[in-house]
Structure 1
Amino acid sequence: MTKMALGTHPFLLGFEQLERLVERTAKTGNDGYPPYNIEQTSATSYRITLAVAGFAESDLAITVEDNSLVIRGRQRDDSEGRIYLHRGIAARQFQRSFVLADGVDVGEAVMENGLLHVDLTRSVPDRVVQTINIRKG
């Protein structure tokens, strides 16, 4: 018996891109840094919170690219002239991507106490009932 791919199931018409989306999501390259939370703040809104301690607003960039929310961070290296006996706080860059469904819009971003909050809203489409006339052939 051959296993049928999800996007090719006969009842899922028009979902061929679903497998490509799942593969793209798996390949986002997120390595766990920085840590983040995703919370549902209402029936149609979400908040992504990233722990970005040490980053200034000017060190961060938030873009929407090809239905993905991409958050990048790049700190300036200010270690010139300093002698560290221990350096446990790394000044490293990151890129974290989140795939967005159709109808999900990125709202505002707020920096607060070392946390970056990005608000998302999902528009609810109008429910449409369409009657199809049958003609004689």
Structure 2
Amino acid sequence: MRSTFDLSPLYRSTVGFDRLLDMLDQAADVEPVPGWPSYNVEKVGEDCYRVVMAVAGFEPDEIEIVQKDSTLFISGRKQPKDETVQVLHQGISDRPFWQSFNLANYVTVTDAKLENGLLVIDLVREVPEELKPRRIEIASGGGPKTIEHEKAA
């Protein structure tokens, strides 16, 4: 496993070494970093949840959201950069990311939107009616009921 080096302090404190630093950046493998981007998991109602992820600089078509069984996968990969622009210091990360969330039974995604650099994913837990607890009435008197008794009535 290769370790990742953060070269941003060098970009901030050097001038004229752009080519050398670019070569070092390109030589390093770009792997998703665990825990990045930052995110919140919020409970917004009895059975409603929200995942809010900070994805500044990403466009909606650069982010993929997939729910498979009880796992939610969120990944992002930037499109190739405009070669006419030379970035001397990059404070807004554009590295790829991958995050997964284990979902409880019957939790599904209801909405996803990208606003002000935040990816907001709304989830709801919808338990089917046949699986919800139901109250059973207790009959009193009259003895046991059988199918023959019902046919006679």
TM-score normalized by the length of structure 2: 0.60
Counterpart contact for 1:39–1:47, Cα < 8 Å = yes
How far 1:128 sits from its partner (Å)?
Answer: 4.2
How far 1:123 sits from its partner (Å)?
Answer: 1.9
CA separation of 1:77/1:91 partners in 2, compared to 1, >3 Å: closer, same or farther?
farther
In structure 1, stretches of 5+ residues that fail to align are: 1-28, 131-137
What's the counterpart of residue 42 of structure 1?
Answer: 45
- What RMSD, in angstroms, separates the aligned Cα atoms of the two structures? 2.0
Mapped partners of 2:85, 2:34: distance in 1: 29
Runs of 4+ in 1 over 6 A off after TM superposition: none
Percent of pairs with identical residues? 40
Residue correspondences, number: 102
TM-score normalized by the length of structure 1: 0.67
Mapped partners of 2:95, 2:33: distance in 1: 14
CA separation of 1:84/1:30 partners in 2, compared to 1, >3 Å: closer, same or farther?
closer
What's the counterpart of residue 126 of structure 1?
Answer: 132
How far 1:66 sits from its partner (Å)?
Answer: 3.6
In structure 2, stretches of 5+ residues that fail to align are: 1-31, 137-153
CA separation of 1:38/1:55 partners in 2, compared to 1, >3 Å: closer, same or farther?
same
Paired AA for residue 132 in structure 2: D
Counterpart contact for 1:71–1:96, Cα < 8 Å = yes
How far 1:30 sits from its partner (Å)?
Answer: 6.6
CA separation of 1:84/1:66 partners in 2, compared to 1, >3 Å: closer, same or farther?
same
Which structure: larger Rg? 2
Does residue 105 (structure 1) correspond to residue 105 (structure 2)? The answer is no
